[in-house]
Structure 1
Amino acid sequence: MRSAFITFTSYASSSSPPTPRQSFSAAMMDENISYAQSIIMKWNLETFSYSKVASLFSEDRREAKEFMMAVKDLQSAMHFFVKEDSSSEKLIRCQNLMQIAIKRLEKEFYQILSANRKFLDPESVSTRSSRVSRRSSCACVSDYEDDDSEEDVIQVASNSVPEVVNVSEIVMADVKAIADCMISSGYGKECVKIYEIIRRSIVDETLYHLGVEKLSFSQIQKMDWYVIERKIKNWLNAANIAVKTLFYGERILCDHVFSASEIVKESCFAEICKEPALTLFGFPEMVAKCKKSPEKMFRMLDLYESISELWPEIESIFSLESLTSVRSQAVNSHLKLGEAVRAILSDFETAIQKQSSKSTLPGGGVHPLTRYVMNYIVFLCEYSGSLSDIVADYSLSAQTPLPESYFSSPIPDGSPTSAISERLAWLILVLLCKLDGKAVVYKDVSLSYLFLANNLNYVVSKARTTSLTLLLGSDWFINHEIKVKQYISNYERMGWSKVMTSLPENPTAEISVEAAKECFRKFNSGFEEAYRKQSSWAIADPKLRDEIKVSVAKKILPVYRDFYEKYRGIFRREMGVELVVRFAPDDLGHYLSDLFHGTVVSGSATSE
């Protein structure tokens, strides 16, 4: 209005008659150009040394607003003269001024982006609240419609948000203002180029410090597993930060700065983050393609779970059509990891079945294979959610040497964990069948049953004290605990049969002295033989050891005590009685208490 009033009064004082409307508009354009020139030339990089070192946006912010309005007015004047006279000297003047203004804005844009990296870092940007973001958007210098708008908004922000967030809001507003101005003036390409170079360097630098490397599959293949494992641990941390902070922050910043153009902000974000994201999400796929082995299972599952947890953010951040390849890479890595886990599970099952049955443990203790397999399965339980997804459509081996009677699901069909429960129960079953084969190798049948009782008891106890309890279900435990008792019963029957049958069923019944002597002789021989053999046998579980000792004692001692009390007086009167009655009842208890501690170092397997 000020410009219009000045123009109107100058024409009113002129002696010449009023000019046409086009002349009035031209006069207004002349006024705008003169005003724009006074602002723009002050900050001409080629003229004043002061303007080369000072920052327009760090000086008087009102002047920054006036500079932006001057560029806007200059653009309007250029449009006017293009229509009126494309060869006008005024148009050339406008173009020259615009070149000077754009160079200034390019410098300001570069300086703000470079000098305020700590206020535009992805973490500061990504933690901005939506309320502060909406409010601070009013502070963009390109949107000033009244003189007090910027100061009012910045003052409100200063009173309500931390200093770093406050500065971040102001810096983002300045960057957006310059971008809007340059794009609307037809210099969007120059603006975007500066932005992409600076922000891409920040993304690359951040990933470098996070330890993300661009590796080929051939490089991965040549690495030892412990090196790959270290890189996986590093990747898990890097991926979490990259997705939730780095890429998320860049998407927010890019969308904010270039909000005026959907095409520009999409292409800009893709240029900055597409290649780094492909590098990041391509690593798990290469790991999944490496040679499979059981010890690699858990790192594969870590990668699988990480992608699963990050997928909602990945899908949201890289939702643009131009970033389909990034989403596809993440999905493909996820699928390949699932395939690798299924392959390792299958190989693990095969390895159990192929383990030599001739390898047994002296003393019938818990076999190293039992410990290894159960510890492995317990670790698998920690990934039950992911494993349920992975094995959901993965049927058990169609061809198996296991009896049909073994096929049963421990959890009712339709349970959320039925797939993984069935799979883990199946692996335990494969182990138990292998142990059945190992038990046959023992020459002593009673030792075979003790071996089975030991190992099955270990399996059940291990499962009871871990999360397998929830996965296998109560019926599984009931059935296998019954089986442990059956093994113990068979062991007692086979291991102590000579001792138990040496005494009469009714120990207090009257029998001849010779018959009593024969009973004592058979008992002595049977007990000594059983004790001699079983003194080296082992029961690792103290509770099971005590239960078996008590059970054996209850079957032997009461009968022997009654028989001993009835006939020991007769044999006292005979010479050589100590050769007939060698054990007092209390002595038997002491001998039994010495059993099942074993003399073989746990874990050493041999063939017996």
Structure 2
Amino acid sequence: MAVRSPGIGDLEGPIAEQEDLVHRRLEAAEEAVERWWSRAGSDAGGGGVSDSPELAAAVRELISLCSDGGSGGQRAKMALQVAMMHLEDEFRQVLISGTYFLPTDSLQASLYDNIAVPARSLSFSSFPNLEALSISSFSFTATTDDSRTYCSGFTRDSVSMEKLQLYLIDPEASNLLMEIAELIFLAGHVPNICHVYSETRHNTLMQCLCLLGVQSEHAAATAEDGCSMQLDSHKVKLWIQGLKIFVGTILPEERRACAHIFGCNSMVEQDCFTRATTRCTQQLLAVGNAIAQAKERDYEKVPLILEMYEELATLQPSLQDLLFGDAKDVISQEASTLLGKLGEAALGLLLDFLSLQLNHDLDEKTALDGSILSLTQFVMGFTKVLSEYNGSLNIILPLEEEDAGDSKKRTSVAPWELYVLRLLSHLHLRIVEKSEFYKDERLRYIFLMNNAMYVLEHSHSSVLGISLRDNQTHEKLVLLVEEYATAYLRATWFPALFHLKGTREVFILGKGKDMMKEVKDVKEGFKNFNSAFEEISRVQTTWKVPNPQLRQHLRIIILNQVVPAYSTYVGRYSSVIHNNSVSKSKYIKYIPNDIENIVLDLFEG
């Protein structure tokens, strides 16, 4: 029996059925996508991928149908393209709306609040619009008291990160984004979602910098105009705070968000994080560069530059650990360059400061009462503040070399300690120079003693005190104070005590012309001493010795010299004065207790 080969008519049935099945599958998948998109865009809100299993099934169906070589395959590709467009748009909207900043009246206050979204039930389209959150009300209020001087106290501003909890992307939104990303990955549309994520997050992170007060126009203006921005202390503090928050909180949070959303593909995770954060990080460093290039010579800003230096040096390793690939190398190089520029800026100001040619009101006329020169107060306060940065200063300041015959060798003293010693040496010369304005030699020594004592008193603090003691400068200052106190005593009280002299031998030998001459000399001695003592007490009561210990010490050494000498003179020669109460009171106007009481009132100012 012959076997008949199947004809074309026999194959039309199965092919038609197969095409019809593909057609129905395509229509079902398209309808599922359309239903989801309609629900997602409705006012009532829709569901996420997990709430709409048919969406995930529809996308997988379209992916499967794309492999069909016929017209069904082309139609499936077009339908999948439409579905991806919807998902990418929804991904973008969730990414924008899922970013939540709690608006507050003060950025500083917000650092101590928990910045986090409240528990909510979220779907792809249920997030509030970002603009409705009034981000513009997120402002910064801080005191910018540039008139504050270091001698009155200076504290290093610090930002505590312990209580800062910032969700850059809402956790539930992050879950929804992960679901969308998985479907888009499945469809092979990786480049599209990377572009959407990186551009959206870049804009958001730039907005974060603005909220932190790190304005991009500063760096842009510097680049365009070829000039440096002003070293505004408020902007510097904002930059320091912004660096801490951006590197310490925002970048780690962004990396965690990328890991969660794109965890199924590590290459995409790294690429999205890099593209989203690189330009923002460069912008932060660019603003720092603009600050570092400020040319003004405001020495009070040196601690701010050093604070920038230390914070960047501290956070640089964390920054390197967060980044990937080429971006890691680029950012690391830019951070190192900025660190070098900050060090150079600080070094330039510190070396200029050594000359103490300050554009400041510190060079006013010397105080009339012999008190502390404001230059001395400023320098010691400034040095005390700088001592808090001694670790960084030992890196920034150059190592000194000393001659050792034909060769040079490094000194064993740290650069910061050498700098302090040189600064104090220059300060001493300026104080001596200022003392020449005094016409009264006695007041000149009071002035020198007061300023030396102030330097001694303020050299006990922290690292500064240790360095001075190690270099025997502390002992030198003590001897200097004593030297000036002795010089004052000689210039003031020795001439007065010179009048209290006489020889008792004349009175032992008997009467005569010599006796009468000695009586006259004794009376003249009392008279001259009284006159000198009255001039001293009248003038020097207005002079000032601010340090209470020094003031008491000075009074004691005066009393130790004056009271015994006066008491002895009165005891020896009071009988020489004619035994008449009127005559005695004319010459012996003070008893030793009177002398003591008057001396104890001196130097109060």
TM-score of the superposed pair, with normalisation by structure 1? 0.71
Q: Secondary structure at the match of 1:117?
A: coil
- Structure 1 counterpart of 2:319: 314
- Residue 32 and residue 269 in structure 1: after superposition, are their counterparts in 2 closer, same or farther (change >3 A)? farther
Which residue of 249, 253, 262 corresponds with 2:253?
Answer: 249
Which residue of 437, 451, 458 corresponds with 2:454?
Answer: 458
Which AA in structure 2 matches 1:91? G
Quote the sequence identity (%). Answer: 22
Whole-Å Cα distance in 1 between the matches of residues 44 and 328 of structure 2?
36
Shift of 1:433: 2.0
Whole-Å Cα distance in 2 between the matches of residues 47 and 329 of structure 1?
47
String of CA shifts for 1:141-172, please: whole Å, max 9, x gaps: xxxxxxxxxxxxxxxxxxxxxxx98x955543
Which residue of 35, 38, 43 corresponds with 2:32?
Answer: 43
Residue pairs, 1:408-423, within 5 angstroms = 413=412, 418-423=414-419
Whole-Å Cα distance in 1 between the matches of residues 462 and 79 of structure 2?
77
Contact 1:553-1:592 within 8 A present in 2 as well: yes
Does 2:282 match 1:286? Answer: no
Identify unmatched segments of 5+ residues in structure 2.
Answer: 7-14, 104-110, 117-165, 404-409, 509-514
Identify unmatched segments of 5+ residues in structure 1.
Answer: 1-15, 18-25, 82-86, 129-163, 400-408, 599-608
- Structure 2 counterpart of 1:68: 56
- Residue 571 and residue 290 in structure 1: after superposition, are their counterparts in 2 closer, same or farther (change >3 A)? same
Q: Secondary structure at the match of 1:571?
A: coil
Root-mean-square deviation (CA, aligned residues, Å) is 4.3
Which residue of 351, 363, 382 corresponds with 2:356?
Answer: 351
Whole-Å Cα distance in 2 between the matches of residues 168 and 288 of structure 1?
36
Residue pairs, 1:92-111, within 5 angstroms = 92-111=74-93
Residue pairs, 1:123-522, within 5 angstroms = 168-215=170-217, 216-217=221-222, 228-291=232-295, 292-352=297-357, 359-391=365-397, 393-395=398-400, 413=412, 418-464=414-460, 468-473=464-469, 475-504=472-501, 514-515=517-518, 517-519=520-522, 521-522=524-525
Whole-Å Cα distance in 2 between the matches of residues 429 and 247 of structure 1?
47
TM-score of the superposed pair, with normalisation by structure 2? 0.72
- Residue 542 and residue 116 in structure 1: after superposition, are their counterparts in 2 closer, same or farther (change >3 A)? closer
Count of residues paired in the alignment: 511
- Structure 2 counterpart of 1:112: 94
String of CA shifts for 1:33-69, please: whole Å, max 9, x gaps: 68964762233339984465399982672643x5435
String of CA shifts for 1:230-286, please: whole Å, max 9, x gaps: 222222222222222222222222243334445533443333222222221111221
Shift of 1:484: 1.0
- Residue 514 and residue 322 in structure 1: after superposition, are their counterparts in 2 closer, same or farther (change >3 A)? same
Which AA in structure 2 matches 1:384? N
Which AA in structure 1 matches 2:486? S
Contact 1:508-1:566 within 8 A present in 2 as well: no
- Residue 363 and residue 102 in structure 1: after superposition, are their counterparts in 2 closer, same or farther (change >3 A)? closer
Shift of 1:203: 1.6
- Structure 2 counterpart of 1:152: none
Greater Cα shift, 552-561 or 422-431: 422-431
Shift of 1:557: 1.0
Contact 2:384-2:461 within 8 A present in 1 as well: no
Whole-Å Cα distance in 2 between the matches of residues 509 and 252 of structure 1?
104
- Residue 507 and residue 332 in structure 1: after superposition, are their counterparts in 2 closer, same or farther (change >3 A)? farther
Contact 1:374-1:462 within 8 A present in 2 as well: yes
Which AA in structure 1 matches 2:313? S
Does 2:582 match 1:593? Answer: no
Shift of 1:580: 3.9
Shift of 1:371: 1.7
Which AA in structure 1 matches 2:355? T
Shift of 1:419: 2.8
Higher helix share: 1
Shift of 1:334: 1.9
Whole-Å Cα distance in 1 between the matches of residues 446 and 438 of structure 2?
10
